[in-house]
Amino acid sequence: PAEPRRAVPPGRSRARSRGAAGAALLPSMLMFGVILASSGLLLMIERGILAQVGPPPLHPPAGPSRRDGRDSPAELELEVLRDTRNRTIRALCGQRSMPRSVWELPPGQRRTVLRHLLVSDKYRFLYCYVPKVACSNWKRILKVLDGALESVDVQGKMDHKSDLVFLGDMKPEEISYRLKHYYKFIFVRNPMERLLSAYRNKFGEIKEYQQKYGVEIVRRYRKNGGNSAGDDVTFSEFLRYLLDEDVERMNEHWMPIYNLCQPCAVRYDFIGSYERLHADANHVLEHIQSPSFVRFPERQAWYKPVTAETLHYYLCNTQRRLIKELLPKYILDFSLFAYPLPNITSEFCRQ
């Protein structure tokens, strides 16, 4: 990206912001749009087609192969997924205009990624945390590894700041050393599922978010919505808000993963996924040689996950035009991490 963009003022109307749609996309997203249009890369990802032969995957397999030398269908599918991710990341990040390091990023983008990279000097790794992708449990693990927490099962509200080391708090030479020599990993999730999880959690349960964001969203997009306490935001209103927001100024819970973790500027050694959370987490823990008593926490009993059926329901009860207009803001997350675009056809929704 050449220059940081100006944010669209919160009160500006959707119609006016549509007129500046080009400016609302990151330069890197525009570049990737060119790549998609010219090579049909997005279509290949959706259909699982690999159109070129490249070097072996960047990321190691999460588990051993079968003893008979043949991989199971699940293992083969996983290898295809990882290979697809690696190829698309290389296709995007190999462009001349893309950043090769965090120092080539505009200041705002650099601050964002550095404050999302957590450091373990003892185990020599960097973890880019992504809200709504099990980051609270990873933070628990970091605290246990550092001795600040006795066990990952300790009950109580998670403190997302104390007893954690952020790469952005270090000196430039310290940052560069760790980026070069430490093991780096990230966990990703289906973009629409992540957005729905953020919506249900923040506007359905967290009063602070209802007051800070919900009240403004309802006031902006609903007639006579001035009396709302912010706890009745609809999913459509939330998506309209995201559509009008400047990507780089978004709250981290719905900012695209690409913007949070900058996979072109930071070369990650492993990309885990929410869909294979425990298997991929165990792979990371084994790689960093964590103590045997440190394990990835089990899901809390009170937690209500977003199921495929729940996502299906919300998407099919939202205007298709709204979802299609929103996709460009998250297209890098879909494409780089090989997630299919949401199926919102009439036939699918009738099921």
pLDDT over 90 at 145, yes or no: yes
By C-alpha distance, which of 92, 310, 279, 288 is closest to 187?
Answer: 279
The domain limits of the chain are: 74-350
Does the pLDDT value for residue 226 go beyond 90?
Answer: no
DSSP 194: H
User: Which pLDDT belongs to residue 312?
Assistant: 94
Residue 325, pLDDT score: 96
Q: What is the pLDDT of residues 248-266, one digit of tens each?
A: 999 999 999 999 999 999 9
State whether residue 127 is helix, strand or coil.
strand
37, 132 contact by CB (below 8 A): no
**Nearest to 288, CA basis, from 158, 116, 144:** 144
Give the tens place of pLDDT for each residue, 293-350: 999 988 766 677 899 999 999 999 999 999 999 999 999 999 999 999 999 998 889 8
pLDDT digits (tens, 9 = 90+) for 33-81: 434 433 444 444 334 333 333 333 333 444 444 445 566 888 888 888 8
Whole-number Cα distances in Å, 302 to 129, 131, 137, 193? 22, 18, 15, 19
Q: What's the rounded Cα separation, in Å, for the pair 107 and 103?
A: 8
pLDDT tens digits for range 148-178: 888 888 766 666 788 899 999 999 999 999 9
Cα angle at 63 between 58 and 67, to 5 degrees? 120
Residue with tokens 């309802």: 218
Percent of the chain at pLDDT exceeding 90: 59
**Cβ proximity of 154 and 101 under 8 Å:** no
What are the helix (H) ranges across 212-294?
A: 215-221, 235-244, 257-261, 277-287
User: pTM of the prediction?
Assistant: 0.79
Average pLDDT, the chain: 82
Task: Give the three-class secondary structure for 119.
Answer: strand
SS3 99: coil
The Cα–Cα gap between 82 and 138 comes to 22
What is the rounded CA–CA span in Å between residue 158 and residue 134? 12
Q: What 3-state class would DSSP assign to 241?
A: helix
Single-letter residue type at 167? L
Question: 326 near 242, Cβ under 8 Å?
Answer: yes
The answer on pLDDT for 186 being more than 80 is yes
